[in-house]
Structure 1
Amino acid sequence: MTPRRTLLALALAACAALPVQAQVGDWPKRQPVRLVSVFPPGGSVDQVARILAQQLTQQLGQTVIVENKVGASGSIGTGFVAHAAPDGYTYAVVFDTHGVNPSLIPNMPFDTKKDLAPVALLGTAPMVIATPVASEYKSFGDVVAASKAKKNVNFGTVGSGSLGHLAMALLGKNGGLEWTHVPYKGGGPLMQDAVAGHVPLSVASIVVTKPHIDSKRLRPLAVTTSKRSPDLPDVPTVAESGYAGFDAPAWWGVLTSARVPPEIVRRMNEEINKALKNPEVAGKLQGQGMTIVGGTPEAAKAFIDQQIDTWAVVVRENNIKAE
C-alpha cells in the first residue's frame, strides 16, 4: 500500500470511529436510560429494577425508566435488549432463569453468551428447602434418609425447569437420591399447598418462604447457597448437611447488548456499584433477601457463564423440559 493510500485508510478509519467516540463521550446525556425488567410488575426482578432506576436517575442526572418486557422465562425481554441499538441506553435486569434458558428453550433468537454483555452481578439469594411444621422431617438429614429408604419423597417448586427444580435434580444425581418433582404455577400456589401440608417439601426463594417460616407454618431444613443466609442464620446449608461444595443461588444481574462500547459498559458498571453501596439502596435490596455482590463486568460474566454451563449439564442429564 502506498503512503497516500495508507493515510487515506487511516483517515477513513478515524472518521468511522468518530460517531462511536461521540456516543461514548456524551453518554448518558442524549436520552433516557432504559432498564428492561424481563418479568412482570410485582416480582423481585421488577422491584430490583425500580430500586436501581431511582438511584441511577440521581447519580446520572438522566432519567432512568423501567420497562416490562416479559414472557418465556425472561428470554423475550433479554432478546429485546440483545438486539437493541448498541448505544448504551438499554439494559436488561435478569433473574437466575437467564442461566437456565439456553438449555431449556430451543431456538432462542439470540446467543446468550455472544450477543449479551454482563454489566454487573447485583446479588445472590438462597432458596429454602422447607417443610410443614407437622411434617416428619425435622432436618434435611431426615429427607435424605427417607429417600435412601426408598420412601416416596415429593418436593414442590415454582415450576418445571425452575432453579429449585434443577437444584434438587442436581442434588439427587450427585447424592444418589430419588424424589418426585411437583411443579406449581408460581410461588403463591406452591406456598398455599406447602402450608396446608399438601406437599411435604417446598423449594423456593427466601422472599417467598420466610413469611411462612416467621408465622411458624413452615420449618426450614436447609438453604441452597454455599453460605448461610443472614436472614436465617440458624438454618444449615445443603453443603453443611453432607454435600460439600453444593451451591445453587438465585441471582439478579444487569446485561446489555454485546455491541455496546466497552467504555460505556465500564461506566455503567461503576454507577451500579456506586448505587449498591448506597445504604438506602442496599437496605431495600437486602429486604428482598439479597446478598449484594457487585464487582466488575468480567466477574459477572464468569459467574453467569458458570451458571449457564452448570445447569445445561443438569437439564441434559435429567431430560428436563420447560412447561
Structure 2
Amino acid sequence: MTPINRAVCALTLLTAANFGGTSIAIASGPCPARFIKMIVPNPAGGVGDLISRVVAEKASAELGQPVVVENRSGATTVIGTDFVAKSKPDGCTILSLTASGVVVSVLRENLPYKLEHDFAPIIGVGSLPMALAVPVASKLNSFADLGAAAKSKDGITYGSGGTGSLAHLSAVRLIKELHGTGNHIPYRGNSDAIQGLLGNQIQLFFPSTAEALPFAKSGKLRLLGVTSDERLPALPDVPTMKELGFAGFSPRLWFALLAPVDTPPNIVSRLRDGFAKAVIDPSVQERLRAYGFTTEIQNPPAVSAFMKNEAGRWSKLIKEENIKITD
C-alpha cells in the first residue's frame, strides 16, 4: 500500500469513528438527508481524494452533519461530474472539481453536461503545484538530461492519469517548449501512473507535490523541478521551473466545490460558510501545507471566472497539439 493510500485509509477510518456512534443534529445542516455526499470524480488514493477527505473531515463538524467522500471515477472525471449534474439540487450531493475536470470540458465535444450551465459554484479552495518526476533508476539525473532525451530520436515516454488530465497537458507543454517529442501512456488515475514511474515503465510524470513528496522523501522518485513560485520548504533542493528557465510554466492542480444548478442560494451559502471555516482551520492548514497546498478561498463568481479562464488557457495547446480523447 502506498503512503497516499495509507493516508486515505486512515482518514476514512477516522471519519467513520467520528460519526459511527454519534447522533448528529441533522436539522442544523444544509442537507435534509442523513449526510452530505462529496463526489470525487477520480480514483481513490489520488490527490483529489486525499485533499477532499482532509477538508471533508473538518467540514463535517462545521456543517453539523457528516460529509462523506465517494469516488466515482471514469472517463477522466466525466462519470462522477455527470452524476452530480443530474443529482437533486438540495445540497446533499456536491462535486470536488479539479483542473482536469475543466480541461475535459474543452477536450470533449458531446459531454452530457456543461460546467458553466449545470453547476452552482460553492467555493474555490486552493491549489497544489506539480512536480516534474522521473524514476530513480533512470539516467535522467538532471533537467539537461531530460532535455536531451526529449530531443533524441526516440523522444521521451511520459505518463498521465488519463488523456486530458493536468499531468498530461503539463508534459505536452514541457516537451513542446523543449522542442522534443514524446510518447504518451495514459493510466487509470495518478496512483497507477506513479506505479508506472516507479517501475521504470515511463520516463516522466507530473504528479502533484502531495503525491510526489512521500516517494521523493523515501528516495523512490527523483524530482527535477516544481511548478510553484518559490522552492517548497519540504523540497528545498528541488528548483522551480522558473529557476530552470521556464518562467511561464506554472500549472497548478486547483480545487473547487460545486453543487447542481438550481441548488437554493441559502443552501449554497451555508455550504460555502462551512467549507470556508474548515479550510482555514489551523489544523487543516497544517496538514495541507505539508503537501505544498496553498489556500485560495474564492466566492462563486470568482470560481466561475477562474474555470472560464482555465479552459481558455489550455484550449490553445489542445488545438495546437491536436489532443483528442478517443475512448
TM-score, structure 2 normalization:
0.78
AA matched with 1:28: P
Return 5+ residue gaps in structure 2 as ranges: 1-27
Match of 1:11 in 2: none
Residue 236 of structure 2 corresponds to residue 236 of structure 1: no
Match of 2:294 in 1: 291
Match of 1:118 in 2: 121
State the alpha-carbon separation in 1 of the partners of residues 257 and 197 from structure 2: 32
Match of 1:21 in 2: none
State the alpha-carbon separation in 2 of the partners of residues 27 and 61 from structure 1: 5
What RMSD over aligned residues (CA atoms) do the two structures have, in Å?
A: 2.9
Specify whether residues 260 and 191 from structure 1 end up closer, same or farther in structure 2 by C-alpha distance, changes over 3 A only: closer
Equivalent residue runs for 1:189-200 within 5 Å: 189-200=192-203
The sequence identity of aligned pairs, in percent, is: 36
AA matched with 1:234: D
Residue 239 of structure 2 corresponds to residue 221 of structure 1: no
State the alpha-carbon separation in 1 of the partners of residues 177 and 43 from structure 2: 34
State the alpha-carbon separation in 2 of the partners of residues 36 and 253 from structure 1: 12
Residue 269 of structure 2 corresponds to residue 269 of structure 1: no
AA matched with 1:54: E
* Displacement of 1:188: 4.4
Match of 2:30 in 1: 28
Specify whether residues 33 and 218 from structure 1 end up closer, same or farther in structure 2 by C-alpha distance, changes over 3 A only: closer
Q: Secondary structure at the match of 2:249?
A: coil
| Correspondent of 1:205 among 208, 213, 217 | 208
Q: Alignment length, in residue pairs?
A: 299
AA matched with 2:99: D
AA matched with 2:320: E
Q: Secondary structure at the match of 1:71?
A: coil
State the alpha-carbon separation in 1 of the partners of residues 165 and 69 from structure 2: 25
Q: Secondary structure at the match of 1:239?
A: coil
AA matched with 1:311: W
Q: Secondary structure at the match of 1:250?
A: strand
* Displacement of 1:153: 2.9
Match of 1:85 in 2: 88
Equivalent residue runs for 1:32-43 within 5 Å: 32-43=35-46
Q: Secondary structure at the match of 1:307?
A: helix
AA matched with 2:219: K
Instruction: Tell which structure's C-alpha radius of gyration is larger.
Output: 1
State the alpha-carbon separation in 1 of the partners of residues 68 and 195 from structure 2: 34
Q: Secondary structure at the match of 2:76?
A: helix
Return 5+ residue gaps in structure 1 as ranges: 1-25
State the alpha-carbon separation in 2 of the partners of residues 67 and 137 from structure 1: 38
* Displacement of 1:29: 6.4
